[in-house]
Each structure stands twice: as C-alpha cells, then as structure tokens.
Amino acid sequence: MKKKNVLLEWQAPARPFRRYSRETWSTILMITALVVLILFFAQEWLLIIAGLSLVFLYYVLTTVAPAKVTYKFTTKGVQVPDREQVIAWEWLGHYWIEKRWGHTLAVILPKTADLPALQLIIDPQEKEIEKILAARLVKIDPPKNALDKISAWLYRHLPLEK
C-alpha cells in the first residue's frame, strides 16, 4: 500500500455563509406569508408544511455560522473534511472555480453519479490549490442548466435586499 503524502492542507468554513439583514428576512417572511395564505385557501396542508420547513431550513443555514474544517490534498486524493476517507483522484473528473457569497469555491465533479460534488472553500491568493487541481483534473466552465438561468434571472430582477 502506498503511503499518502499531504500536498496541501488549509482550514476554511465547511460551506459558504452569508448573514442576511433584518429587512431581507422581513421580505422573505412576507412572501412566505402570502404563499401560505394562498395555499391555506386551496387547502394544501402538505405544501404549507413543506414551504414552512424550507424557510426554517434556510433561516438556520443563514444564521448559524459553519464550523472551520481542514481540507487536504494528498497524493492519493482529496481528504473529505471530518472523515478519514480520501476520495481518489481517479474518481474525480472535472473542476471549476467560482465565487459565491464572497467566498471562492473549487467545485469538483466526480466521474460517477454515486459520489457527491465537492465544494471546497479556497483562498483566492493561494495559487498552489489551482496548480494541484490542474495537474490532476480537467478545468471546465461551470455548466448552466435551466434552474441556474431561472434563479439568476430572479436574483437580478427580484432582489430580496438592496
């Protein structure tokens, strides 16, 4: 068995995080109340419960800051945070770099559908991360599906905050 050597190790939040203002939350709650009222008159109880659950989940994800985790690139693969598991480079296919909520992310797609896509928060000044990824994976432009286009249009035309 080959020994795994650590190529690069860094600490970053576990996920992108951004706090919303009180004004933004009042807008979200007003929209939710309107949708719940419409669904109440249509007697769609399960949709009301599902919608309120999603709003609560979004509230929790945007108010509770994520923990800092340690990311590692080894000679064998990518060390998944909070586990001893290493995802081998052979199982990973493409990657791209994107910005989300003030964080720079390296998104790594697996070759098979049974593995999740990895989203690693990186330091934009750290050039070693991109060198390691470029040496082992293929860099692509992020694919845009219909949902991405619709959400981008909604974000541009119906902003929740100023």
- The confidence score (pLDDT) of residue 1 equals 46
- Is 79 buried (19+), middle (13-18) or exposed (0-12) by CB count in 10 A? buried
> Residue 53: its pLDDT value, please?
95
Q: How confident is the model at residue 82 (pLDDT cuts 50, 70, 90)?
A: low
Q: pLDDT tens-digit profile of 95-147?
A: 888 888 778 888 888 888 777 778 888 877 777 888 888 888 878 887 788 88
pLDDT at 58: 86
- As a residue count, the chain comes to 162
- Please tell me which of 33-42, 62-71, 82-91, 110-119 the model is most confident about, judged by mean pLDDT: 33-42
Tell me the domain boundaries of the chain: 6-14+70-146, 22-63
Q: Which CATH class name applies to 6-14+70-146? A: mainly beta
Query: What is the rounded CA–CA span in Å between residue 32 and residue 48?
Result: 9
Per the model's pLDDT, the better-predicted residue between 21 and 83 turns out to be 21
Between the CA atoms of 82, 86, 89 and 91, what dihedral angle is there, to the nearest 10 degrees?
A: -100
Burial of 106 (0-12, 13-18, 19+ CB in 10 A): buried
Q: How confident is the model at residue 4 (pLDDT cuts 50, 70, 90)?
A: low
Beta carbons within 8 Å of 88's beta carbon, 6+ residues apart: 76, 77
